[in-house]
Amino acid sequence: ECVYETLEDAGYTRESLGSTPGMGPGGNVGVYVGVMYEEYQLYGAQETMLGRPMALAGSPASIANRVSYFCNFHGPSMAVDTMCSSSLTTIHLACQSLQQGECEAAIAGGVNVSIHPNKYLMLGQGKFASSKGRCESFGIGGDGYVPGEGVGAVLLKPLAKAIADGDQIYGVIKGTAVNHGGKTNGYNVPSPNAQARVIGRAFQKAGIDPRTISYLEAHGTGTSLGDPIEMTGLTKAFQA
């Protein structure tokens, strides 16, 4: 089992986390970052076309690698782009890394910024964006979502170690599971059966009774296509 907490509440600095006994020189701490929309290079192309040559890096790996560099962390360091599931996928990968002994602590999270009009043009063309400027998840008449900006990260450690270190523990991750919908009616169309299977696998790995679950966080894109599929997947998983 892994737990999640924050660096601030745990009272860690980059030096103290990196010098925790047993972590070795520099700290065997992993960094996993979920990210989407790497559009900085578009500004470089625009400036170059205007006669002001400018090369801007477009590698999302720099997000994770700069954290590892700044903090002198020696664990795995990577950026992950699985679109809307990127942040949760980083937590899944970080937990696996902890369980396999690749690192003794991990920072996992995600960042999403809106830096260029291309993002909104793409969302509009693909009919992902709400025509009303409001997201109405699981509501009647919803036709899209509204993108937001934010960054968040949690510190992951094995439960026994967090207890021994006296950390502020926010929650225990009992199990995680990841899959893909495969071939459906369209590239942007999710699969209710695949969603049911991945939820079922998470139940099994966590070893919990689904009847004890009292709270769910959902994707909830606020669309007439995606929301019913998500509800169907949840229903199938709990019915089983």
Report pLDDT for 39: 92
Structural contact between residues 222 and 209, judged by C-beta atoms closer than 8 angstroms:
no
For residue 52, the tally of other CB atoms under 10 A from its CB is: 9
Strand intervals (E) in the chain = 2-5, 29-35, 77-80, 105-112, 150-158, 171-173
Of residues 86, 96, 40, the one with CA closest to residue 64: 86
Of residues 36, 34, 14, 15, the one with CA closest to residue 128: 36
| 2-5, strands of its sheet edge to edge | 77-80, 29-35, 105-112, 150-158, 2-5, 171-173
φ, ψ of residue 220 to 5 degrees: the values are: 55, 60
How confident is the model over 44-69, as pLDDT tens digits?
A: 999 999 999 999 888 999 999 999 99
Beta bridge partners of 130: none
How confident is the model over 154-209, as pLDDT tens digits?
A: 999 999 999 998 888 999 999 999 999 999 999 889 999 999 999 999 999 999 99
pTM recorded for the entire structure:
0.91
* Mean pLDDT, rounded, of the chain: 90
Of residues 33, 44, 188, the one with CA closest to residue 116: 44
* Banded model confidence at residue 134, pLDDT cuts 50, 70, 90: very high
